Structure 1
């Protein structure tokens, strides 16, 4: 009887989220004006040898297209977002990590940072994206290069990525220092820090 009035909840939408067909732009700070040829991706920290990759280095790596759902902590979700870029797992053979590495600090042009446990960073669906819906990634969405971590809230999918610092101990990023959860699992509604 009530089925005619209520649509069943989409099982792909985490609790507390609302679906949108739009792709809202939320950014802290100014949008960097960065050309692809200016991109430098640094791999530093507890590594055998630090590396700096340019745009041509990234384009020479295997390229992947994937479709993933995208969940923002501000309670909107966009399903079936099509990204193109380099899988994090295809980047990792270029650097040898120290055995004590457990965490990654992602840092960006413009000064933004976010943190990830190594196990969350090394998932096969994580991507260094340079295209969005088959077009070059727009600046406002993190172009020329952003990280996409689909299984966590979108603030972990850092825009304008400049590097990854591999660490033994967790170092909190910008939003994590300002009240957001350390991990940000949308299915557990890990929006804000445990300390409240």
Structure 2
């Protein structure tokens, strides 16, 4: 199976691949539940909780500065893909649109289809994070989280929520779907923070 779908990193690549990971030859798709089909016309994004409530349309997001990103992608199921090319909007640019209470310490990412995952404010606000709407120069396919997903390159990919449609700011930590089902609360690949047990 390693030879057909995965490969071992070469010497140069090995420094970029966390322990326990293999390089994927393609870009595998792993999803819990059905894949939502959401058009950009109907897509909207909400902010609530320990923040001033707000709702944004696709046009609101597209009015923000757009950037190209190249980032490595690490799945908790032990595969990685290097140099994934995305187009998107920096988290920092989106954050300039909203007002967050000083006591907010965590965020629950909410998605079409009901998926949730948690992330600390510290991890969320890192400079390299972005909302992606293109993959390798094409509109982000639904199976990869289109029309919009969050990308958090420094954590395992379940924190890079597909089909994202809202952020709930929290003054305490709460657990999302996989965190309630045994996954690690943070998910840092270099520490192999896969599971909570």
| TM-score (normalizing by structure 1) | 0.94
Structure 1 match to 2:26: 22
CA RMSD of aligned residues (A): 1.1
Query: Is residue 182 of structure 2 the alignment partner of residue 175 of structure 1?
Result: no
- Aligned counterpart in structure 1 of residue 69 of structure 2, from 61, 66, 90: 66
Structure 2 match to 1:3: none
Q: What is the alpha-carbon distance in structure 1 between the residues aligned to residue 10 and residue 102 of structure 2?
A: 49
- 1:11-54, Cα deviation, whole Å (9 max, x unpaired): 0000000012310000001100100111111111111x211000
- 1:102-158, Cα deviation, whole Å (9 max, x unpaired): 000001000000000000000111111000000000000000000100000000000
- Aligned counterpart in structure 2 of residue 83 of structure 1, from 82, 86, 94: 86
Where structure 1 has 5 or more consecutive residues not aligned to the other structure, the ranges are: 1-5
SS of 2:60's partner is helix
SS of 1:96's partner is coil
Runs of 4+ that moved beyond 2 A: 6-9
What is the aligned length?
Answer: 188
Q: What is the alpha-carbon distance in structure 2 between the residues aligned to residue 55 and residue 20 of structure 1?
A: 32
Structure 1 match to 2:128: 125
- Aligned counterpart in structure 2 of residue 153 of structure 1, from 153, 156, 172: 156
Where structure 2 has 5 or more consecutive residues not aligned to the other structure, the ranges are: 1-8
Q: What is the alpha-carbon distance in structure 2 between the residues aligned to residue 7 and residue 62 of structure 1?
A: 36
Q: CA deviation at 1:93?
A: 1.0
Q: CA deviation at 1:7?
A: 5.1
